[in-house]
Chains A and B, each alone.
Chain A
Amino acid sequence: MKPRLDGRRAALAAALLALALVPAVADEFYVVLFTKILVLGIFAMSLDLLVGYTGLPSLGHAAYFGAAAYAAMVLAPESAPANLLLTLPASVLVAALLALATGALAVRTAGMYFIMVTLAFGQMAYFAVHDSPYLGGSDGKLLFARPVVAFGGAAILDFAEPQVYYLLVLACLAGSYGILRAVVQSPFGRVIQGIRVNEARMQALGYATYRYKLASFAIGGAFAGLAGYLAAYQAEYVNPKLLGWQESGLALVMVILGGVGTLHGAVLGSAAIVLLQEFFSELTSHWMLLLGLFIVGSVIWLPHGIVGIRAWARRARTR
């Protein structure tokens, strides 16, 4: 068990190092593309905590992603950059609290009802933003500039350069992965995985499962919020689509395509979707059709997602 764990650590370190070198070797176009992959990677990981570990297939996860994006916009000064050290935690908190409030009702339901309730909350959040002139309505709103890290009024780090912003996003992804990995291996993590398999049995063992599901939902919401904050400042623009069900559905596809219940699979899923979107849209204006076919094919032939490829290849060899 030990050596395999160390092998995983080495692979992780190598992947992080390679990602950190992207700005040094690649064009700005790719830096921006990779920023998008990593932001959506954080978002998909946060959903994997719910879907893959807790067994809560949310179709409204973008509500928390978008809520933090809008919080970032509201908290940003009109004509000066915001301070990241204040606005990032505040935006994440907004997302977490919204998840806590809506989750308190949603996690009382299960299965199809849970899907419907989260979808309904997601659409409520979407229309709340869409119909609010103060938040920019259906047009959305521009952000004045990327945030800065400021101490005592003096900005010591700014993220105007896409390369620097990319490194910020990469650091957030690494931090999120580290925290979520620890969480799923903690006693809490074991409880939510038990709930996914058999909630009634967990209750019979003495676990008040509702609390654990709600905590997981709020943690997932918080990390979705982190991704939403980073997405808002990558585009320097927010619009209601960030909260829509398409965004929730896309995150779900990323998780399933990458491999449910693995965390890193969610990031691979994000990379696959973003790169394929890019690739297919160069080929044809009907790229959605190609992407759809690809997803159908991968679900049929790669039921365990991209992370299942190795096991799949091993089986194919021995056959």
Chain B
Amino acid sequence: MTGEPVIRTDGLTRRFGALTAVDAVSLEFTAGRIHAVIGPNGAGKTTFLNLLSGNLRPTTGSVRLRGREIAGAPVHAIARLGVGRSYQRTNVFPEFTCFENCRLGAQARLSSSMRFFKPADAYAGVNADAERALSLCRLSHRRDDAADVLSHGERRQLELGMMLATSPSVLLLDEPLAGMGAAEAGLMLDLIKGLASDHTIVLVEHDMDAVFSTADVITVMVGGRALETGTPAAIQVSPAVREAYLGAAKGAPAP
């Protein structure tokens, strides 16, 4: 492992009543890497992301962002520290144009949006950031179309663009390929790979081919615990992972 971790969790735990959804997870996420978190349904992957982004408070344990404790901080405060989050269910503003969606993201970078009189589209820096995000998510040609006329794949791209417009250093991606056709998924994977060099990426994804072809590091979660972390090659041959994860399907290939 080279470089200081950008995010480090320590004994991160979240219980819902009797259920321990995330159980003492201690992981490190390093800049410039795509770190995938995989595991069967109910393994606690999305809950883990929610703990990183502040959507949920941990029961115990810590989350450090560049050494700073952020566990339990509100969502907006964590976002302003540079943690971008995309959601499993597409979460764009359907009645706004693609540009306006990205502009809202870019505007979040202003010190405050308690600005009441100058028109929002007169902020040149915000507009430039929004255009840059649109081109990063390859939707410049859709600039003035309302988000609700986009295809499913394009909406997923826009979701990514909105997040990129906030200029985050950490990207938490929750199943960015969900529901996509092969061509759309290929484009999205290209996008994500292109972002890896200057972002810290935490990728939760069910598409195993995609994960093993893009991730630099993979963590396998089972029953809320981080079972094993390693390179794709190491994970593929790990006996523990085979037994706990693939073994559940009685030797059949991963879904």
Using CB atoms and an 8 Å cutoff, list the residues of chain A in contact with chain B: 182-183, 185-191, 194, 197-198, 200-209, 211-212, 215
Contacts and interface: CB of A to CB of B under 8 A. Distances in A.
B120 interface: yes
B113 A212 contact: yes
A215 B120 CA distance: 17
Interface secondary structure of B, over-half rule:
loop
Q: Is chain A's binding surface mostly helix, strand, loop or mixed?
A: helix
B110 A197 contact: no
B75 A191 contact: no
A190 B120 contact: yes
B74 A206 contact: no
Given A204-B53, A206-B80, A185 B74 contact: no
Contact of B118 (A186, A200, A203, A205): A186
Contacts of A215: 114
A186 B117 contact: yes
Contacts of B115: 186-188
Contacts of A206: 76, 79-80, 108-109, 166
12 contacts: A183-B117, A187-B115, A187-B120, A187-B123, A188-B115, A188-B116, A190-B103, A201-B91, A203-B79, A205-B79, A205-B166, A207-B113
State which size class the interface on B falls in.
Answer: 35 or more
A183 B116 contact: yes
A205 B104 contact: yes
Contacts of B190: none
B85 interface: yes
A204 B85 contact: yes
Contacts of A205: 76, 79, 104-105, 108, 162-163, 166
A2 B163 CA distance: 30
Given A188-B113, A212-B113, A207 B108 contact: yes
Contacts of A186: 115-120
Given A189-B120, A190-B107, A205-B162, A198 B113 contact: no
Nearest to B121: A185
B94 A197 contact: yes
Contacts of A182: 116-117, 119
B95 interface: yes
Contacts of A191: 104, 107, 113
Contacts of A209: 76
B146 to A, nearest CB: 12
Nearest to B117: A182
Contacts of B118: 186-187
B212 interface: no
Contact of B93 (A187, A189, A198): A198
Nearest to B100: A190
Contacts of A187: 107, 110, 113, 115, 118, 120, 123, 126
* Ranked 9 nearest A-B pairs via Cβ: A206-B79, A206-B108, A206-B80, A203-B75, A187-B113, A205-B108, A187-B115, A190-B120, A187-B120
A196 to B, nearest CB: 10
A202 B85 CA distance: 11
Most-contacted residue by chain B among A191, A194, A198, A204 (CB, 10 A): A204
Contacts of B75: 200, 203-204
Contacts of A208: 74, 76-77
Interface string B42-63: 0000000000010100000000
Contacts of A211: 114
Nearest to A209: B76
A122 B119 CA distance: 33
A41 B110 CA distance: 34
